[in-house]
Structure 1
Amino acid sequence: MGLFSFGKKSTTHRNQVKILFTSDLHGSNVAFKKFLNAGKMYKTDVLIIGGDLAGKMLIPIVDLGSGKFDVQGEIVGKEGLQEVENSLANKGIYYGVMDKKEFDEVQEDKRKQDEIFKQAMVERVKEWVNIAEERLKDTGIPLYVNLGNDDPEYLFEVLKQSDVIKITEGEVADIKGYEMLTYGYVNPTPWNTPREKKEEELYRDLKSYLEKANPDKTIINFHAPPYGTNLDNAPLLDKTLKPVVKGGELVFTHVGSTSIRKLIEEFNPLLGLHGHIHESRAFDKIGKTIILNPGSEFSEGVLHAAYIVLEDGRVKAHQFIIG
């Protein structure tokens, strides 16, 4: 992995907290495993996943019998099937193995398609829960996991089955003396995803939430980035939802939340952790608040994360990790 170090090893500070944050893993097995490994490598105190665990695509694999399988027109044997399944999982793509009769039935039945997708989504998150239990159980490192806008609410029930995973949406979580506020809903998108709210609803919800915490010690873990920053640049879309291209280049626009920006300006929290906009890996400042979006390349199996060191009530250091 292409990890960065901070130079010479310093003495331990009583009030120092090391955080590793990622978001938008979208079902990628390899990105999730790399994140856990990086957390142990950096000897972090806290691991945080800011939302969007769910994958975006499912590929049917048709069992032709006699040990042969059809994967979108490519015929593979049992050994080749395992390789295909691993490759798909690492890219965040779900798969379902079915015979030809089942495949024909599913093609004509949207309800069955939804059931298969839901089952695949739940099984992937269950797999992650088991991996996290195995790798973190003896480390003492808590893993805070939230759902994003692409994640159905029922995935919370899967996450609750873990002893090492902590869910904090709507609560003020103590992070070794700092206070983390977590929220996975985003401002409206063109795709009408499961967890969206109008800006006025976001503002109302988050204002009452922020009033519960001490801004000087507050980490906001809000999936949507604030509007008009380095963190919320995404391709401009036309009426058919195709990216706008001018002069041979994509046209970008700001798509973050105006409410979250306004609230950061009003409350001045210590740190903002955000995701949602995969193309916008960046850090920025709003007033005195440092805000970070590690970005995402889940479909390439690449981990994007942010390593943050808090010390004595300030953000001492932050570094993006890609690998």
Structure 2
Amino acid sequence: MGLFRKKQQDGVETKSQFKILYTSDVHGSEVTFKKFLNAGKMFKVDALIIGGDLAGKALIPIIDLGNGKYDIQGTEVGREGLEMIKQRIRNEGNYYVVVDKKGFEELNYDKRKVDEAFKTAMIERLREWIKIAEERYKGTNIPIYVNLGNDDPTYLFDIIDESSVVRRTEGFVIPLGKYEMISFGYVNPTPWNTPREMSEEELYSNMKSMVEKLSNPNLAIFNFHAPPYGTNLDNAPLLDKTLKPVVKGGEIVMTHVGSKAVRSIIEEYKPLMGIHGHIHESRGFDRVASALVLNPGSEYNSGIFHGVYIVLEGEKVKTHQFITG
């Protein structure tokens, strides 16, 4: 029949269609990550991609009171209740650290100890996720490509590099069948001064240097964490000087907060597709020049998985489907 002409390329088969499951902004939510892995198998994809922001945002101290009792944010629980609360914390994308009363006081007065506990919790959570992914995808020849976003400290790249199933993307041209993917997790400046931000000029320069390594930009996927400016993908609440949403007529005022550099690069090189994240409330699709651009959105703190199932065929995106579960 000649329909599926297969060629091995970096562990990925080249054929008439290439199927991708993409998500972003899981922010430490264990249940969301597991749903992502399950969906990849359900849709029988050729590759899974996480566009960035693996790390959670909060560290919750659990005070060991002794005698099997624990204090969690003012609520006393026993050992059974503790395990339920730990799992809830994990599913909501937060971290926890178990300390005695002295350790809790040290956290309150020593920022370095908080930073150290946060780092340890992030690394442990990511290693646990990698172990789960390896158990579920070992021997499948289906890669799980992961990038860091603006909220992720760069030392998490070292943890990703420990795995043969979960692979980092930033800094590499990743072959996906006949297509290529480049990734960049830095974003334009935000009000929160997150770990990986750059000026628009720096963003443009870095992304341009990556594009120039592509063999054919028109068949490329631009996996850039920041969405292109002025699209359906970058609408977020307008903030006042105190970083509170501006409300007029009883409604929150929205504004475009994406990257002008990302938009310029897409307009200049016209890739096949752009996959983005960063703006959780702006799930959607749009077109910039000839390129389809996608943002799956995120409700990680509710344990809800948001993703996009994408089918590439020939020189086009044959179909895409937003998934919620």
Q: TM-score, normalised by structure 1?
A: 0.95
Deviations 1:185-237 (A, max 9, x none): 10111111110110001111111211221122100000000000000000000
1:295 equivalent to 2:303? Answer: no
SS at match of 1:242: coil
1:282 equivalent to 2:284? Answer: yes
Counterpart residue identity of residue 41, structure 2 = K
SS at match of 2:159: helix
Q: Where do residues 143-154 of structure 1 align in structure 2 (5 Å cutoff)?
A: 143-154=144-155
Q: Structure 2 CA distance, aligned partners of 1:316 and 1:148?
A: 27
Q: Structure 2 CA distance, aligned partners of 1:12 and 1:274?
A: 30
Q: Structure 1 CA distance, aligned partners of 2:42 and 2:166?
A: 19
**Conservation of the 8 A alpha-carbon contact between 2:26 and 2:298:** yes
1:188 equivalent to 2:182? Answer: no
Matching residue of 2:250? 248
Deviation at 1:12, TM superposition (A): 6.2
Q: Structure 1 CA distance, aligned partners of 2:128 and 2:38?
A: 16
Unaligned regions of 5+ residues in structure 1, if any?
1-10
Deviation at 1:138, TM superposition (A): 2.2
SS at match of 1:61: strand
Deviation at 1:307, TM superposition (A): 0.3
Q: Share of identical aligned residues, percent? A: 64
Matching residue of 1:106? 107
Matching residue of 1:68? 69
Q: Structure 1 CA distance, aligned partners of 2:252 and 2:137?
A: 42
Matching residue of 1:314? 316
Q: Structure 2 CA distance, aligned partners of 1:137 and 1:292?
A: 29
Counterpart residue identity of residue 25, structure 1 = V
SS at match of 2:195: coil
Change (3 A) 1:58 1:319: same
Q: Structure 1 CA distance, aligned partners of 2:241 and 2:171?
A: 35
SS at match of 1:149: coil
SS at match of 2:63: strand
SS at match of 2:191: coil
**Conservation of the 8 A alpha-carbon contact between 2:285 and 2:294:** yes
Counterpart residue identity of residue 125, structure 1 = L
Matching residue of 1:28? 29
**Conservation of the 8 A alpha-carbon contact between 2:239 and 2:246:** yes
Matching residue of 1:178? 179
Matching residue of 1:57? 58
Deviation at 1:170, TM superposition (A): 1.7
Count residues in correspondence. Answer: 313
Deviation at 1:288, TM superposition (A): 1.1
| 4+ residue runs over 4 A deviation | none
Counterpart residue identity of residue 126, structure 1 = R
**Conservation of the 8 A alpha-carbon contact between 2:218 and 2:269:** no
Q: Structure 1 CA distance, aligned partners of 2:208 and 2:156?
A: 26
SS at match of 2:223: strand
Unaligned regions of 5+ residues in structure 2, if any?
6-14
